[in-house]
Amino acid sequence: MKIISDLHMHSRYSRACSKDLSIKTLEKYAKIKGVNLLGTSDFAHPEWIKELKSELIEDSSGVLKTKNGFPFILSNELSLMYTDLGKGRKVHNVILAPNFEVVDQITDELKKRGRIDYDGRPIFKIPCPEFVEMLHSISKDIEIIPAHIWTPWFGMFGMSSGFNSLKDAFQEKVKSIHAIETGLSSDPVMNWRIKELDKISLLSFSDSHSYWPWRLGREATVFDFKHVKEQPDLAKLKYKDILKAIRTRKGLHGTIEVDPNYGKYHVDGHRNCGIMMEPKDTAKHKGICPKCGKPLTIGVLYRVEELADPKRPENYSPQPGKQENVKDFKTLIPLSEILSAVLKRGVATKTVFEEFYRIIKDRNEYDILLKVPKRELLKLTSEKIANAIIKNREAKLKVMPGYDGVYGKLILDEQEYIKQKKELANSARP
């Protein structure tokens, strides 16, 4: 049985998040999406942890369950902001924990270093190596995953954080880092170009700030324990099964990704000026916006080009068995985004919702996007929508790239896409 997991998201106690986020809504929309394992998020927040302890049932497995049996793993994203070698560093990490006892110990340690009550993703002035040491002194079963590793402001490899390697960031504790989160603006193909990551598991999660199906589970990590004689199903799944899969890649099947162009920081640009650029054009402009004269926000693609192994060019394809982090992955745009583009209505409108529920019927979104044949889709929706779903399945949809905090835009019309690409090229001329 394949386990589709989303272990990085937020509660309503995190800033800029839906106030309706609850365990019930997360469970409901995870089932609609087709995600069957969630992270709790924000376990260090004093109000959210009360809800987790009252609504989730704990046993010795390390996988908590709702009253309906839906599984959660304890998780939290934490922000580290500190100075290293005279430079400001801003790194987000997702941490996974095996039980409430360990979570309470983590929270007690964090309280010694700052407040935890103002945000579900609190900030601490703790260097990455010290952070690992602190957590592993509590339990070696705590997993630390650098979050959305390439994004400009709070990704470990991002423009603002300034680290050029895992070793730079985690120093002598780098051997305790077994995985990174690729983030919306990068995919495995981009990360395969970084030699240092060859033995690092590539994970994808949504970092969702709401429970809507175009956010929750838009990226996910798939586990499959078919190599185990008695493959654990969801009822028998243990925290250590997930931990071992992340650390050894045995049981890590792969990921579900959005097109990296869809992410908010794929290319470089200035949203206030309406300027976005590919890395080669950014280099021509020396990183300066041609309209306002200020530095551009440098995106993920640029940083990947900077840090990539010279022998691994764009679209580098590793030889089978040569890199341990090469796993299967699917590139998908959320169904709601497709419907919004076809129907020319906002993603959260009644028109799009009605069509969404008509299509999924008694299935879930991932079944529709990945499995249901076209002849069946045509019984559920229009030919235009069915064709777009199949194109999505085949990773043939076109997305204008996101930049400087602006999501990428799905373009269904081929000529319109070509036109906008030309406009992008023209705006980048010196």
Given a cut of 70, whether residue 62 has pLDDT beyond it is: yes
For residue 102, being part of any structural domain is answered with: yes
- Does 338 lie in the same domain as 257? no
Share of the chain above pLDDT 90, in %: 89
Same-domain pairing of 53 and 164? yes
Q: Which domain holds residue 36?
A: 2-262
Position 426 in a domain: no
Q: Locate all alpha helices (DSSP H) within 67-204, ordered by sequence.
A: 100-111, 128-138, 166-170, 188-191
What percent of the chain is modeled with pLDDT above 70? 97
Residue 229 has pLDDT above 80, yes or no: no
281 is a domain residue: no
Residue 214 has pLDDT above 70, yes or no: yes
Same domain, 42 and 160: yes
Least confident among 18-22, 125-129, 412-416? 412-416
251/341 same-domain check: no
Whole-number average pLDDT of the chain:
95
295, part of any domain: no
If 0-12 CB within 10 Å is exposed, 13-18 middle and 19+ buried, where does residue 148 land? buried
* Last-in-domain residue among 228, 262, 296: 262
Alpha-carbon gap, residue 154 to 52, rounded angstroms: 27
Q: What is the pLDDT of residue 116?
A: 97
Average pLDDT over residues 95-110: 98
Task: Assign residue 35 the CATH number of its domain.
Answer: 3.20.20.140
Interval 355-381: pLDDT, tens = 999 999 989 999 999 999 999 999 999
129: amino acid identity, one letter: P
- Domain-embedded: residue 270: no
Same domain, 69 and 212: yes
Asked whether residue 241 is domain-assigned, the answer is yes
Question: Containing H/E element for 383?
Answer: helix 383-393
pLDDT at res. 231: 59
What pLDDT score was predicted for residue 351? 98
Please check the confidence at residue 305 and state whether its pLDDT lies above 60: yes
User: Are 72 and 195 in the same domain?
Assistant: yes
Q: Judge if 355 and 210 occupy the same domain.
A: no
* pLDDT attached to residue 84: 92
Which residues have a Cβ under 8 Å from the Cβ of 100 and sit 6 or more positions away? 52, 53, 58, 74
- Whether residues 338 and 204 share a domain: the answer is no
Look at residue 1 in the predicted model and tell me its pLDDT. Answer: 80
Number of domains within the chain: 2
Claim to verify: residue 9 and residue 117 sit in the same structural domain: yes
Identify which has the larger pLDDT, 317 or 70. 70
Report residue 12's pLDDT band, with 50, 70 and 90 as the boundaries. Answer: very high
Q: Are residues 351 and 256 in the same domain?
A: no
Contact 128, 169 (CB under 8 A): yes
* Residue 228 reports pLDDT greater than 90: no
Domain boundary among 210, 233, 262: 262
> Is residue 246 one of the residues assigned to a domain?
yes
pLDDT tens for residues 320-345? 778 888 999 999 999 999 999 999 99
Domain match, 65 and 148 both: yes
Q: What pLDDT does residue 195 have?
A: 95
List Cα–Cα distances, 19 to 23, 200, 238, in angstroms: 12, 35, 31
In a domain, 381, yes or no: yes
User: Among residues 262, 297, 316, which one ends one of the domains?
Assistant: 262
The pTM (predicted TM-score) of the whole model is 0.96
* Pair (228, 349) in one structural domain: no
Taking the CA atoms of residue 338, residue 342, residue 346 and residue 349 in that order, the dihedral angle to the nearest 10 degrees is -90
Q: If you average pLDDT over residues 252-272, what whole number do you get?
A: 97
